[in-house]
Chains A and B, each alone.
Chain A
Amino acid sequence: MTKQINIKVLLFFILTGVLLWFILGNIKFNFIISEILFVFLSIFHLLILSILKIVKEQKIKLALDFNLLITSLVLFNVSWTYYNELNIWFYNQYMEIGYTLILKLFLLIILILILVLSRVYIKYVKIVEYEFSFLMILSAVGMMLLISSENFVLFYLAIELMTLPLYILSAFKTDKIYSAEAGLKYFIVGSVSSGLILFGISFIYGATGLISFKDIGLFFLTLSTELNLSLIAGGDSFFCFYFGLIGILFIFIGFFLKLGIVPFHFWIPDVYEGAPLIITLFLSTLPKVCLIAIMVKFFFLFSIYLIFLQKLLIYLGLITIIVGALGALVQLKIKRLLAFSAINHMGYIFIMLGLFNEFGLVSIFIYLFIYILTIIGFFAILIGLREYSLNLDLMSILQLKGIGRKQPIIGLSLSLLLFSFAGIPPLSGFFTKILVLYNLLGLNYLWFSFFILLTTVFSTFYYIRIVSLLFFYNQEENMIFLRGISRECLIICYLALIGCFFFFIFNGLSSQLITSAIESLFLFEVFI
């Protein structure tokens, strides 16, 4: 009976969705249709779901299915939007170029994978509120707006839209005290960072009187020529210069807090540990992509402070790598370990961002792509494996003891993903690491890259420790419920493994795609 209802409701929703898409598509709103479609459809479905009278568990599943459908619809739409054509709308507030489109595509694909995994996750974990997936969608809309934002107002609003649902989501496991702690911590840190960003924006507004990125870029360009020619000694332009510097520093500190760069990394392990498993995956992948995308844009805007910012980012990146590598050595909890590993990898990305050449920018996104693929594969298995007796998530790495002996395929794929994290050759992680080092050595950072390579030894140690736990011990009884691995998890893990093994396929394909995207950004920013 319930199945029939489901199918009818599903059909109804598909029809309405297609109809809406068709109508909206015909009013020549193609450029912003993805976000509008996204918000519109999800709110519409939320309304309907609140009226429907079915069992709560069914509601959650239904909501997830709808959201998967909506996301794939939006993905379809994004991929159909014009590629590499400059679109600026709403009085310079919203920009759509090849760069943003590629990132949105990437983002939506990850979102779909996460939604598929959360369909598996809700089978095991009692999550009663059906707004669960809706909040994810809302956050993703914020991310898409953030990537496209071309104005400080939209930028700030998008950041808030992105993070507010995340606070709720990380406290979503209401019966666990850790989850509440994680939500609270994330909320405090997130609001502090948003405050810092807002403070920085106000400084920049004070210096320039402008909020549009384009105008601000133009302003600082003229300011730099003025300072170079020293037309006005002292006075207004110096005031503008230092105010702008303080502003961008505050904005960047806000970013560091959100991304977990080292002096501001303290919250990451706690939040990762407390949040539900699927939300940890969400936190560790999606916000990073769009925050780094917008940071790249800021580098173009504030090119007057480029040398200062580059040094800041490179040295912070080095410290981040060292802390990430050393911090994880003592961790036994799997999520804390992954948190430190995420810190470590963010360091690499920051170094490439700090070098700021075209090669570096292209390799940032290749790095992110491979890293995120690997982490999704890893989480796909973690979601599948559950503790037998108490029906708990996998907590400690010691629980992984001897899984490779019982289930070689799962153990092997986990350990290959770990080797990819560590950057051992035949896997893709090695190539991404080489991208960083090649770039560094091309710019004569010899000892710098030597230190980075030394830290890889430490990070490799904690990855291969897990591999040794998987394979080199006999399994103790009653540790893991092995039937738990479902087909979806395995398929996603295999996808990740293909990504890990055949880097060349992606190297040829993705680097071309990403290079053209970055070139579109360059093209756009040169015209400022």
Chain B
Amino acid sequence: MNVVNIKYFIDSGVNIFPYVNYVVIVFPLISLLVVLLVQENVLKSYAILASLTQLILIFIFIIFYLYIQKSFRESLYGDFVTLLNPLLEYSYYNEFKPLAFPLINSFLGFELKYYVDELGLVFVVLTVFLIHLCIYYNIELNVFFLKFNLILLFLLEIFLLNCFFVSDLFWFYFFFESTLIPMFFIIGIWGSRERKRHAGYQFFLYTLVGSILLLLSLLLLKSTLGTTNFEHLRLLICNCKLIPQKITILLWLFFFFSFACKIPIFPFHIWLPEAHVEAPTAGSVLLAGILLKLGSYGILRILFSCFFDINIYCSPIIIVLCLISIIYSSCTILRQTDIKKIIAYSSIIHMNFGLFGLFLYDNVPVVGAILAMISHGFVSGALFFCIGMLYDRYHTRNILYYGGLVQVMPIFSFFFFFFIISNTGFPGTSSFISELAIIIGLVKENIILMILSSIGLLFSTIFSFSLFNRIIFGSLKSINLYGFKDIEIKEILILSSLAVVILIFGLKVANITNWLSNFIDELKSVTIPIESYTNFVIY
């Protein structure tokens, strides 16, 4: 192995860490089984215990991984002697085999291998954090069918973790679409109104139609190139240019359409407000926080890294579409009366603003885009939690019934204010950095574009503050609302943990940006030596 090979091998993260399996399957499965098998009367305590243990184990895994990676880099660029060296040698000289299910190795040559890198890891942190908050929230709320709810949430966690760690496009698709089943149940069973069925159908069928094209292009790639591994695809499509130009554009369009349904971009966004509004609190948190990110994650993994030149060729279309969806949804927001719908449309704005950054190609806006996705996950999740807490008390989401809550719910008002200003991108919160980075990129690219997209941000500030104003300030509307009660310690725990995470991402941002920027350099460096692929055949 020469130096280049080792460097590539380490930075791409293939087979680097043999313990992914535990995180991806074993830990969530154990908690799922615990929830499945315990009696109803001790369910709550056991579920909290299982979820906490799992959370701690997964974060230990992540810290361990980061430590190993750091020592790797050190061993490459200087201090060679580290404590963990023997372990590292073990982990990348031995072929990694899935431990959990030895039967699930491959299907039609699609190999199920895991792949830990910065991008996946950032999204995994988001996933684990939000899902466990939802589990805790549902246990405390004591929703009906609690057992079934928890099983579905753990199942969703398994699918999502697999989605972000898997190294093959087929398996990504597999887990991407698997998330439909638990989400469909969550919307349909625990949704609050009669319209939830309609919303469930819309959510299910829109994603299905989108993923049809993903499946088609994936199988097309398999039949022409013989592989759907992300790294191999990057090499073959971007480096070797094995696919003719016309087919590449077709593939690009297919991929883009399927992810555009999930993000969602303007013509395909109908399902999102419906599904967000009709879903229960945990459902909307997970939808806005994680499931929308699957689309942007797919764009980063496939479009961004494999179809480099076509991205540049097609970026005007995308930017125009993003712009349309930003301005369109900002105009739509201003006349909404449902609080959840307002947050849902605002998440369209933020997601599309993030997508802007991805197609600008500087390191700064791309890092900004990834950070925008993450921070949107936390902020909109927190806002949906806030609305859920209001809904639990007063059973209405109509903005006209609320007013003057600061007089009776001061703690709630404090947290709500914090999340509202982080939604507008206040300095010190995580969304500030991301928006700043994207705008810097936009200024470099095109000043008119910058002005147009800033109008969208201005709108987002306006409606955020008007929403806050109408709910929290003004006179108390005690005709509509009764039985006032501020949030309890359990709810404060949920909201404050989210606030802390938002502050950490906002203040200690230098580490994360450096880290991600290195990763993006790797993605962009398309000159990878072919010798580094040993077990790889072109059919």
**A residues engaging B (CB < 8 A)?**
404, 408, 412, 419, 424-426, 430-431, 434-435, 437-438, 441-442, 444, 446, 449-450, 453-454, 456-457, 460-461, 464-465, 467-468, 471-472, 502, 504-505, 507-508
| Complex contact B201–A505 (CB within 8 A) | no
Across-interface contacts of A461 in B (CB, < 8 A)? 201, 205
Main secondary structure of the interface of A (DSSP, over half): helix
| Complex contact A471–B188 (CB within 8 A) | yes
| Complex contact A468–B201 (CB within 8 A) | yes
Choose, from B123-131, B207-215, B262-270, B368-376, the stretch at the interface: B207-215
Partner of B108, one of A438, A454, A464, A467: A438
CB-CB under 8 A for A472 and B196, given A450-B216, A453-B212, A460-B208: yes
Q: Is B185 an interface residue (CB 8 A)?
A: yes
Across-interface contacts of B174 in A (CB, < 8 A)? 425-426, 430
Partner of A424, one of B103, B180, B216: B180
| Complex contact A457–B208 (CB within 8 A) | yes
Across-interface contacts of A468 in B (CB, < 8 A)? 188, 197, 200-201
Cα A97 to Cα B291 with chains together (Å): 51
Cα A100 to Cα B178 with chains together (Å): 37
Across-interface contacts of B22 in A (CB, < 8 A)? none
Closest to A469 in B: B197
Number of A-B contacts (CB under 8 A): 89
Across-interface contacts of A426 in B (CB, < 8 A)? 159, 174, 178, 181
Across-interface contacts of B178 in A (CB, < 8 A)? 424-426
B474–chain A nearest beta-carbon distance, Å: 37
Q: Is B313 an interface residue (CB 8 A)?
A: no
| Complex contact B181–A437 (CB within 8 A) | no
Choose, from B71-79, B218-226, B429-437, B509-517, the stretch at the interface: B218-226
| Complex contact A425–B177 (CB within 8 A) | yes
Across-interface contacts of A437 in B (CB, < 8 A)? 215-216, 219
Across-interface contacts of B200 in A (CB, < 8 A)? 464, 468, 472
Cα A450 to Cα B104 with chains together (Å): 28
Closest 9 CB pairs of A and B: A472-B188, A453-B212, A425-B178, A441-B219, A504-B103, A425-B177, A426-B178, A441-B223, A442-B223
Cα A435 to Cα B220 with chains together (Å): 13
8 A-B residue pairings within 8 Å (CB atoms):
A408-B145, A424-B177, A430-B177, A457-B208, A460-B204, A468-B200, A472-B191, A504-B104
| Complex contact B181–A424 (CB within 8 A) | yes
Across-interface contacts of B215 in A (CB, < 8 A)? 437, 453
Across-interface contacts of B104 in A (CB, < 8 A)? 504
**B residues engaging A (CB < 8 A)?**
101, 103-104, 107-108, 145, 148, 159, 173-175, 177-178, 180-181, 184-185, 188-189, 191, 196-197, 200-201, 204-205, 208-209, 212, 215-216, 219-220, 222-223
Across-interface contacts of A504 in B (CB, < 8 A)? 101, 103-104, 107
Across-interface contacts of B188 in A (CB, < 8 A)? 467-468, 471-472
A256–chain B nearest beta-carbon distance, Å: 28
Cα A388 to Cα B160 with chains together (Å): 42
Across-interface contacts of B223 in A (CB, < 8 A)? 438, 441-442, 444
| Complex contact A419–B145 (CB within 8 A) | no
B109–chain A nearest beta-carbon distance, Å: 10
Across-interface contacts of A454 in B (CB, < 8 A)? 212
B171–chain A nearest beta-carbon distance, Å: 10
| Complex contact B184–A467 (CB within 8 A) | yes
A521–chain B nearest beta-carbon distance, Å: 22
Cα A435 to Cα B145 with chains together (Å): 37
Across-interface contacts of A471 in B (CB, < 8 A)? 185, 188-189
A292–chain B nearest beta-carbon distance, Å: 22
A485–chain B nearest beta-carbon distance, Å: 18
B218–chain A nearest beta-carbon distance, Å: 10
Closest to A461 in B: B205
Cα A425 to Cα B175 with chains together (Å): 7
| Complex contact B212–A434 (CB within 8 A) | no
A446–chain B nearest beta-carbon distance, Å: 7
Known: A453-B212, A464-B201. 4 other contacts (CB 8 A): A424-B178, A425-B177, A438-B219, A446-B216
Closest to A503 in B: B107
Partner of B204, one of A441, A450, A464: A464
| Complex contact A472–B197 (CB within 8 A) | yes
Across-interface contacts of A507 in B (CB, < 8 A)? 107
Cα A34 to Cα B189 with chains together (Å): 51
Across-interface contacts of A442 in B (CB, < 8 A)? 223
Closest to B209 in A: A457
Cα A453 to Cα B177 with chains together (Å): 14
Closest to A460 in B: B208
Across-interface contacts of B189 in A (CB, < 8 A)? 404, 471-472
